Structure 1
Amino acid sequence: MVAIDPKFDTAVRQEHAGRFGLTRSDQRFLLFALGALFAVRLLAMFWWPFTDSTEARYAEIARKMVETGDWITPQFDYGVPFWGKPPLHTWLSALGMKLFGVGAFGARVFIFAASLGVLSLLFAWMRRHRDPDQALLVTAVLASSLMFFGASAFVMTDMVMVLGTTLSMIGFYNYMEDGPSRSTWGRWFFVGIAIGLLAKGPVALVLTVIALVPWLALTGRWRELHGFPWLSGLLIAAALTLPWYSLAEIKTPGFLRYFLIGEHFQRFVVPGWQGDLYGSGHEQPKGLIWLYAGATFLPWSLFALPLLPRAASYVKEMTGSDRGWHSYLALWVVAPLILFTPAANILPAYALPGLPAAAALLVSLWAQVRGRPGWWARNAVFMAIVFVGLAFLSLTILARYQPGSITYRSERGLVTAAQSYDPDVQITYWGGRSFSAEFYTRGRVQFTERTATFDSLADNGLRDAMAIPASIASELVPLLGSRFDPAGQFGHRILFVENLDREVTR
């Protein structure tokens, strides 16, 4: 057996990977950083309260699913169907609460599992087509990016959809590059489409098409689709998605029209769309999604700036598989930006599907253009990861020990204070609906803007509590009478709790 010089072997591996390598201390740091980020996010899953309105709304919808046992139709309110999104993320949160109890961890744990699935897919893909060093660094970059870290255990649709789009994009690329396992990867592409359709709807399919069609045109590889498992793949996607879509329309007629036309067309092209059954449109200047994308990828979008001049000249010289690889990543990154550029109602999370490719593109281009990072670049990377971890750790600690300083949009503190007087206390809020109040009271809360409600409180047989905005407390407190005592201010609301030991005088 011929002995191979380890230095020669390392050099060959680094040359094949774009002259990029990590020392063992670098690898240990990145592994430790990933473990630390995992621990911080796990703590945040327990300590961060649900805040109004997005996460609290979806968590409450999942809680109602557990309470009512209706796993077909998510409910915006008792008996009111929620047609805004498909139920995959709701199923995951409801299943978590079914297994681990109704609370923050149960609602978030399987959303977190979806984000770990995205990281695992990306790591394995980069290891397969690049090298273990790039795979490790890309995983750390994505895990520590602003939006991905924040959304990784956030109860909403986007992370589950990203799992689907990531699986589809990786499955398609592997199909185009592999030999014997081509059909298998082609079928995984359709599984990813099905996940996206059940997580957020047809937008997941549109995102993949926007990326793949230009790439096939650019590379001229249309003929390779002749062997694509269209029939078996479409059957898999149909078997996974059509049953729920059919049952949803049968159970609540009108769902498909609202969901397909309203949520997937009018929401994005009609400024200030008034057809939203569950809120109001997020009207923004068109094209703002590009700025959102840069912000969501912080701090790593800052690392792309010094890379751009040399990367631009390198891109012109790319040929063959290298050109196909980088163009695939670039189109994957910009697909959601192209889709939402003309949209009037957008959120920063709409850029999230492109972040896995953004991390891969940044690291891959850096390896090709700059080679192994120097002392300054390496330490800048490490400092960025440490900064993100410490920033989120600080916010998590504040959420646990000083919740009033950062969680003013959550009603957990107020509900907890009211329930300390009586676990069965009936809380009434003056003003609009609060989903976090609904969640933390298990649906036992009412909202009013009618002073006549005050007169009925004494007759319900329960200890009552009133949550009143501080800005109008001077007007409403006299209407409560002397039987309510102030119990503290929580955010912009003051809590008043009924004193059952005091003689009522009105």
Structure 2
Amino acid sequence: MGEQQARLNAAETFRLGATARRFLLATLLLLIAARLMLIFWLPVIDPTEGRYIEIARKMLETGDWITPQFDYGVPFWGKPPLHTWLSALGMKLFGVSQFGGRILIFATALATGWLCHDWVRRHWGRDLALLSVVAIAAALVFFGASAFVATDMAMVFGTTLSMVAFFNCVTATENRRIWGNLLFVGLAVGMLAKGPTAVVLTGIPLFFWLLLGNRWALLLRLPWGTGLAVLVLLTAPWYVAAELKTPGFLRYFIIGEHYERFVVPGWEGDLYGRGHARPKGLIWAYGLAFFLPWTFFGLALLAKPVRLFAAAKGLGGGAGMYLLLWALSPMILFTPAANILPSYVLPSIPAAAILVVLLCSAVWQGGRILRLATAATLVATLAVYLGLAGLAYFAPMRISANTELALVAKARALEPQMPIIYWGARAFSGEFYSNGRAQSTSDAAVLAGLAANTTRDAVAVLPEDLAQVQAILGDSVSNEGQFGARFLLVEPANGGAGQ
């Protein structure tokens, strides 16, 4: 195809030396190693990761693979189950641990990187492909989310697959039908990872790209019949089964999570937490902040508008606009949203990184300053991430106090099966590390009744509530000290009625 060949010919003008290629490959491997170390060493963090990994642990424990459970017997309607399936399967394969819960999430990040590398290699050559995947891996939000137990990375794999597959389908001369069907597979992955949001994030850039270039005829190249059948066959069974098993799911998920959360500031209808009201438009600031360190390279391009325009046009086939719209899609969608989180920018990172790499390589092609700046940026970024991994190993609690690992470990050291009662809000990582033996209460009568039961109990309490809880429990417990955010109060070994 003429346009595709033009892009390939343009890529021929960009070449990395052997030393630069080895440097980038080593950087990529070290980034992967640093993230793997954090999987092992960084404790599960509350509330988000703790909640999702505990939901996965409950899925594995109960054997209910249809309905994720917010608590035993309480369905979790907030998100589809793909990330839960991945975490639960990881724990089934590798044991109930933070590694087991995270490793298959990390696998989706690696798969996303591979997709991007293959796509850039096909259209712009292997050197730009290597540089692009390193840029993706080093981006702040991608590195952090790549093994974080949540919905985002599974959805990003789905949106990336859809965007790559669509472009390949409408520009390639071979395997067009395969790529067309993979577009719908990506949509199905997104629907099972996040829901309709993933379809909208894919639809926005595709719609505007087709509109701005008057490319509507390209839609005729898609295998609509088999593609839609694939989409329905992959998604409908779970959605139907979930509604039949717990009626009310579809109403809450579609209307509540996708409409009311979007338009109602501080949405109060959230069954599992609260809305995250933020000023409208803040998503753009999140995008700039979490694309670091490459934000500076993107801004530097604006200083050379003539070269920038020529470089974007030189990509051919509308690829520059395709990547730009893909990168801006989350910002376009969430600018008017009433409730947002920083992680909402994550689907833009693959496209943004590829676009910045392609444009920088064209605008400053062969530029010594660009090579030095890129190398220095990667070295500094890698040092930060490796330092974070080292800190997670030597002093994990210094990274985040939002984990109950140390408290649960202390309670287990005193008595392996000791129940832990959290005063006030739930601590999901406490439930995870205690294999479901941790509970929560705000009822003073429940605490007062601990002395009368036949078990040795522990109570976890925040510093501001310590005096109140000690007044309720009196001399029936001893204070073992503060572990993370909470104090641990424990009954003596011979405490409890009947002991």
How does the TM-score come out when normalised to structure 1? 0.93
Tell me, yes or no, if structure 1 residue 217 matches structure 2 residue 211. Answer: yes
Q: Which runs of 5+ in 1 are unaligned?
A: 1-11
Deviation at 1:502, TM superposition (A): 7.5
Of the three residues 432, 450, 466, the one matched with 1:439 is 432
Is the alpha carbon distance of 1:329 and 1:250 closer, same or farther for their aligned partners in structure 2, counting shifts above 3 Å? same
Asked whether the equivalents of residues 456 and 496 of structure 2 are also in contact (C-alpha less than 8 Å), the reply is no
Of the three residues 215, 238, 246, the one matched with 1:244 is 238
In the alignment, the residues of structure 1 paired with residue 106 and residue 358 of structure 2 have an alpha-carbon distance, to the nearest angstrom, of: 26
In the alignment, the residues of structure 1 paired with residue 274 and residue 23 of structure 2 have an alpha-carbon distance, to the nearest angstrom, of: 45
Is the alpha carbon distance of 1:441 and 1:72 closer, same or farther for their aligned partners in structure 2, counting shifts above 3 Å? same
3-state secondary structure, aligned to 2:304: helix
Asked whether the equivalents of residues 311 and 359 of structure 2 are also in contact (C-alpha less than 8 Å), the reply is no
Tell me, yes or no, if structure 1 residue 111 matches structure 2 residue 105. Answer: yes
Per-residue CA deviation, residues 324-353 of structure 1 (Å, 9 max, x unaligned), is 010110010011110001001001111111
Tell me, yes or no, if structure 1 residue 46 matches structure 2 residue 40. Answer: yes
Per-residue CA deviation, residues 255-313 of structure 1 (Å, 9 max, x unaligned), is 11111111111101111111111111000000111110111110001111111132455
Asked whether the equivalents of residues 313 and 320 of structure 2 are also in contact (C-alpha less than 8 Å), the reply is no
**How does 1:158-169 map onto structure 2 within 5 Å?**
158-169=152-163
In the alignment, the residues of structure 2 paired with residue 59 and residue 326 of structure 1 have an alpha-carbon distance, to the nearest angstrom, of: 38
Of the three residues 220, 227, 244, the one matched with 1:233 is 227
In the alignment, the residues of structure 1 paired with residue 100 and residue 485 of structure 2 have an alpha-carbon distance, to the nearest angstrom, of: 28
**How does 1:370-409 map onto structure 2 within 5 Å?**
370-374=364-368, 376-409=369-402
Is the alpha carbon distance of 1:356 and 1:246 closer, same or farther for their aligned partners in structure 2, counting shifts above 3 Å? same
Q: Which amino acid aligns with 1:272?
A: G
Deviation at 1:319, TM superposition (A): 4.9
Tell me, yes or no, if structure 1 residue 490 matches structure 2 residue 483. Answer: yes
Partner of 2:68 in structure 1? 74
Q: Which stretch of the first structure deviates more once superposed, 491-500 or 223-232?
A: 491-500
Give RMSD over aligned pairs.
1.9
Partner of 1:143 in structure 2? 137
**How does 1:259-408 map onto structure 2 within 5 Å?**
259-311=253-305, 314-315=308-309, 319=313, 322=316, 324-374=318-368, 376-408=369-401
Q: Which amino acid aligns with 1:125?
A: W
Partner of 2:3 in structure 1? none
Give aligned-pair identity as a percent.
52
Per-residue CA deviation, residues 87-140 of structure 1 (Å, 9 max, x unaligned), is 001000000011111110110011000000000000010000001110000000
Deviation at 1:503, TM superposition (A): 11
Partner of 2:461 in structure 1? 468
In the alignment, the residues of structure 2 paired with residue 311 and residue 362 of structure 1 have an alpha-carbon distance, to the nearest angstrom, of: 14
Per-residue CA deviation, residues 48-68 of structure 1 (Å, 9 max, x unaligned), is 111110000000100000011
Q: Which stretch of the first structure deviates more once superposed, 313-322 or 62-71?
A: 313-322
Q: Which stretch of the first structure deviates more once superposed, 93-102 or 320-329?
A: 320-329
Q: Which stretch of the first structure deviates more once superposed, 270-279 or 460-469?
A: 460-469
3-state secondary structure, aligned to 2:267: coil
In the alignment, the residues of structure 1 paired with residue 352 and residue 221 of structure 2 have an alpha-carbon distance, to the nearest angstrom, of: 29
Q: Which stretch of the first structure deviates more once superposed, 105-114 or 388-397?
A: 388-397
Asked whether the equivalents of residues 18 and 367 of structure 1 are also in contact (C-alpha less than 8 Å), the reply is no
Alignment size in residue pairs:
492
3-state secondary structure, aligned to 1:482: helix
Q: Which amino acid aligns with 2:325?
A: L
Deviation at 1:224, TM superposition (A): 2.6
In the alignment, the residues of structure 2 paired with residue 340 and residue 318 of structure 1 have an alpha-carbon distance, to the nearest angstrom, of: 26
In the alignment, the residues of structure 1 paired with residue 312 and residue 115 of structure 2 have an alpha-carbon distance, to the nearest angstrom, of: 26
In the alignment, the residues of structure 2 paired with residue 205 and residue 129 of structure 1 have an alpha-carbon distance, to the nearest angstrom, of: 25
In the alignment, the residues of structure 1 paired with residue 25 and residue 204 of structure 2 have an alpha-carbon distance, to the nearest angstrom, of: 34
Deviation at 1:405, TM superposition (A): 1.8
Asked whether the equivalents of residues 424 and 463 of structure 1 are also in contact (C-alpha less than 8 Å), the reply is no
Deviation at 1:316, TM superposition (A): 6.4
Of the three residues 414, 429, 435, the one matched with 2:422 is 429
Of the three residues 439, 444, 448, the one matched with 2:441 is 448
Q: Which amino acid aligns with 1:249?
A: E
Asked whether the equivalents of residues 311 and 362 of structure 2 are also in contact (C-alpha less than 8 Å), the reply is no
Q: Which stretch of the first structure deviates more once superposed, 377-386 or 171-180?
A: 377-386
In the alignment, the residues of structure 1 paired with residue 289 and residue 341 of structure 2 have an alpha-carbon distance, to the nearest angstrom, of: 12
**How does 1:149-188 map onto structure 2 within 5 Å?**
149-188=143-182
Asked whether the equivalents of residues 311 and 369 of structure 1 are also in contact (C-alpha less than 8 Å), the reply is no
Asked whether the equivalents of residues 59 and 439 of structure 1 are also in contact (C-alpha less than 8 Å), the reply is yes
Per-residue CA deviation, residues 148-177 of structure 1 (Å, 9 max, x unaligned), is 000000000010000000000000000111
In the alignment, the residues of structure 2 paired with residue 41 and residue 152 of structure 1 have an alpha-carbon distance, to the nearest angstrom, of: 8
Q: Which stretch of the first structure deviates more once superposed, 120-129 or 475-484?
A: 475-484
Q: Which stretch of the first structure deviates more once superposed, 472-481 or 55-64?
A: 472-481
In the alignment, the residues of structure 1 paired with residue 245 and residue 468 of structure 2 have an alpha-carbon distance, to the nearest angstrom, of: 46
Q: Which runs of 5+ in 2 are unaligned?
A: 1-5
In the alignment, the residues of structure 1 paired with residue 279 and residue 10 of structure 2 have an alpha-carbon distance, to the nearest angstrom, of: 44
3-state secondary structure, aligned to 1:305: helix
Partner of 1:457 in structure 2? 450
Tell me, yes or no, if structure 1 residue 202 matches structure 2 residue 202. Answer: no
In the alignment, the residues of structure 2 paired with residue 263 and residue 221 of structure 1 have an alpha-carbon distance, to the nearest angstrom, of: 33
3-state secondary structure, aligned to 1:495: strand
Asked whether the equivalents of residues 146 and 299 of structure 1 are also in contact (C-alpha less than 8 Å), the reply is yes
Tell me, yes or no, if structure 1 residue 85 matches structure 2 residue 79. Answer: yes
Q: Which stretch of the first structure deviates more once superposed, 173-182 or 388-397?
A: 388-397
Deviation at 1:315, TM superposition (A): 2.0
Asked whether the equivalents of residues 57 and 88 of structure 2 are also in contact (C-alpha less than 8 Å), the reply is yes
Asked whether the equivalents of residues 14 and 21 of structure 1 are also in contact (C-alpha less than 8 Å), the reply is no
Deviation at 1:314, TM superposition (A): 3.7
Q: Which amino acid aligns with 1:491?
A: G
Asked whether the equivalents of residues 19 and 367 of structure 1 are also in contact (C-alpha less than 8 Å), the reply is no
How does the TM-score come out when normalised to structure 2? 0.95
Is the alpha carbon distance of 1:317 and 1:148 closer, same or farther for their aligned partners in structure 2, counting shifts above 3 Å? closer
In the alignment, the residues of structure 1 paired with residue 423 and residue 49 of structure 2 have an alpha-carbon distance, to the nearest angstrom, of: 22
